[in-house]
């Protein structure tokens, strides 16, 4: 039995590394069990750990060693400085999607007048990370979020309550629940992994995260194609569309949107690793 937080952390880190898992996860799990942030953990690293806390911690470590994402074990993930509830019904929010939020904030400020009431839709909201973050970060916005999964919407609604973010949720496939309205901004991080890419995914993703939120037909392009066909007639002027994409999908999705909106500016935006990660279609006429 480990007596201190340091001993528990050292043992768990080594155990995870031996099982081909990221050893840093041990710290996240210990912080969760002890209800401490990083600084607080470091300040108490040589303090005694109770037998109860250690047993809970070690159970979590062993569970993660089997491949289950630690976010599902602790039931949450941080996104843009806020904690979001997550479970196996929703995709775990990724750090790179925070860059989508940054782009949306910048483009919203540049395209719309400061006092304009802006209608935004988030398609395939999952945990609600994009929709709720936009609601908290941008003033004068009315946000609607859709998802085909009723289980995912349960999670998103719980996150909305916790974050005190007023967002309207609708169940349905892609744009169907909002097709009767016009929008200033439509955002989506849809499933975009082709079935042939499954072998490239880690077991923590392929075995635990919802396939409904991961995979799409036509080499991952099917849902972009469907939305591009439906979006004309749904957008106000001015307005913009923002999609997160797979790193190799930029040219194909750019062509879809350019065909749908011949007069629009369609841009591929790279992430900090210089990979094509986002598409923005700005409609001004």
Residues 241, 235 contacting (CB under 8 angstroms): yes
CB-CB neighbours of 133 under 10 Å: 26
Q: What is the pLDDT of residue 31?
A: 97
> What is the pTM (predicted TM-score) of this model?
0.91
Phi, psi of 48 (to 5 degrees): -70, 145
Q: What is the pLDDT of residue 216?
A: 47
Rounded CA separation 61/58 (Å): 5
Rounded CA separation 97/244 (Å): 8
Query: From the CA atom positions of the chain, what is the Rg in Å?
Result: 21
Residues 252, 204 contacting (CB under 8 angstroms): no
Per-residue pLDDT of the chain (285 residues; tens, 9 = 90+): 678 999 999 999 999 999 999 999 999 999 999 999 999 999 999 999 999 999 999 999 999 999 999 999 999 999 999 999 999 999 999 999 999 999 999 999 999 998 899 999 999 999 999 999 999 999 999 999 999 999 999 999 999 999 999 999 999 999 999 999 999 999 999 876 655 555 555 666 566 556 555 544 656 788 999 999 999 999 999 999 999 998 889 999 999 999 999 999 999 998 777 777 999 999 998
Please enumerate in sequence order all residues whose Cβ is within 8 A of that of 266, keeping only pairs 6 or more positions apart, or say none.
254, 257, 258, 279, 280, 281, 282
Q: What is the pLDDT of residue 254?
A: 96
Q: What is the DSSP letter of 94?
A: P
Among residues 72, 86, 85, the alpha carbon closest in space to that of 28 is found at: 72
Residues 120, 136 contacting (CB under 8 angstroms): no
Q: What is the pLDDT of residue 114?
A: 87
Q: What is the pLDDT of residue 194?
A: 55
């Amino acid at each position: 039995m480990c007596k201190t937080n340091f001993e528990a952390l050292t043992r768990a880190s080594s155990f995870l590394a031996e099982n081909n898992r990221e050893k840093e996860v041990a710290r996240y799990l210990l912080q969760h069990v002890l209800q401490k942030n990083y600084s607080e953990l470091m300040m108490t690293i040589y303090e005694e750990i109770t037998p109860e806390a250690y047993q809970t911690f070690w159970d979590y470590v062993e569970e993660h060693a089997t491949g289950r994402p630690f976010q599902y074990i602790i039931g949450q993930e941080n996104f843009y400085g806020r904690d979001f509830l997550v479970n196996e019904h929703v995709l775990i929010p990724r750090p790179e999607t925070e860059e989508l939020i940054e782009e949306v904030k910048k483009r919203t400020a540049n395209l719309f007048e400061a006092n304009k009431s802006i209608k935004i839709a988030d398609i395939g909201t999952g945990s609600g990370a994009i929709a709720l973050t936009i609601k908290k970060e941008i003033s004068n916005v009315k946000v609607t979020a859709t998802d085909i999964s009723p289980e995912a919407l349960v999670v998103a609604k719980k996150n909305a309550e916790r974050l005190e973010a007023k967002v309207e949720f609708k169940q349905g496939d892609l744009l169907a629940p909002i097709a009767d309205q016009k929008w200033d901004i439509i955002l989506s991080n849809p499933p975009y992994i082709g079935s042939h890419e499954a072998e490239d995914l880690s077991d923590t993703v392929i075995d635990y995260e919802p396939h409904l939120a991961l995979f799409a037909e036509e080499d991952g392009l099917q849902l972009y194609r469907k939305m591009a066909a439906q979006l004309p007639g749904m957008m106000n002027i001015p307005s913009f569309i923002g999609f997160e994409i797979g790193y190799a999908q930029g040219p194909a999705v750019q062509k879809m949107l350019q065909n749908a909106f011949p007069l629009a500016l369609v841009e591929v935006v790279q992430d900090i690793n210089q990979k094509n990660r986002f598409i923005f279609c700005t409609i001004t006429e």
